[in-house]
């Protein structure tokens, strides 16, 4: 396989490096060059063997000006969930396979954005199915990611599953938009069918609603004063004490 998974045309969240290092000049805060040799695996991050997750939350908090750490934790988790769902669902919809995405094979440069945040060191693929995607993303990543975040920051488990549902819905919408531009209605239909199966899981069921897949909970981003997300459960920004949104 080449140094990319071939999904870049859909959008940045779908791209995944399989070889090489981030752009020249990129460096960790301590001055070391990032890449396969220095970035921790997501397995290590989930196990608490690195401070990369806490540093990512700190970075997001600084960028958002978030006074509440749980707001930054929520937004950080939403971003990583979106990356993982997008890579898996995009590959499944377009190619009928998906990268195995084992946490031990995914190195995470926490201060980079897509596609330079993730490096897959063993890019072998597996046949695509609802079960395979659920195992690769929800079970192998989102469950331990939520546990690791909650060890660092008090944040609602229900909120994190709402983020996971929102991220999955976002991947479906991006694939659908790309399919309309390129005439790949077959890929859009496969993505929607796979997502329907994924949303049938009890942890994701009810996290979005309607044909537009609008989320039913709030990710807390509105508490930064930055307005509402495109799929926000609110119709207008909540008051200053509007903690976690509807439900």
- The region of weakest confidence among 22-36, 53-67, 71-85, 96-110 is 22-36
Provide CB contacts within 8 A for 86, sequence distance 6+.
7, 10, 11, 13, 14, 167, 170, 171, 174
Position 45 pLDDT exceeds 60: yes
Residue 4 is classified by DSSP as B
pLDDT over 90, % of the chain: 66
* 82-108 mean pLDDT: 96
* 56-61 mean pLDDT: 94
Provide CB contacts within 8 A for 23, sequence distance 6+.
116
* 226-238 mean pLDDT: 62
């Amino acid at each position: 396989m080449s140094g990319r998974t071939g999904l870049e045309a859909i959008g940045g969240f779908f791209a995944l490096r399989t070889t090489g290092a981030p752009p020249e000049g990129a460096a960790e805060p301590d001055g070391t060059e990032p890449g396969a040799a220095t970035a921790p695996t997501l397995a290590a991050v989930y196990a608490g063997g690195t401070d990369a997750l806490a540093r990512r939350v700190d970075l997001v908090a600084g960028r958002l000006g978030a006074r509440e750490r749980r707001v930054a934790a929520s937004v950080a988790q939403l971003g990583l969930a979106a990356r993982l769902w997008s890579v898996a669902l995009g590959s499944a919809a377009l190619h009928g396979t998906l990268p195995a995405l084992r946490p031990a094979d995914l190195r995470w440069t926490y201060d980079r954005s897509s596609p330079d945040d993730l490096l897959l060191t063993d890019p072998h693929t597996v046949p695509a199915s609802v079960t395979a995607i659920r195992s690769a993303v929800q079970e192998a990543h989102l469950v331990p990611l939520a546990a690791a975040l909650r060890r660092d920051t008090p944040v609602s488990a229900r909120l994190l599953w709402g983020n996971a549902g929102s991220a999955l819905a976002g991947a479906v919408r991006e694939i659908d938009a790309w399919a309309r531009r390129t005439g790949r209605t077959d890929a859009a239909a496969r993505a929607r069918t796979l997502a329907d199966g994924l949303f049938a899981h009890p942890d994701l069921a009810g996290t979005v609603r309607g044909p537009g897949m609008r989320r039913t909970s709030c990710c807390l981003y509105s508490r930064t004063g930055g307005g509402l997300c495109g799929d926000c459960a609110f119709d207008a920004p909540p008051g200053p004490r509007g903690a976690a949104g509807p439900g």
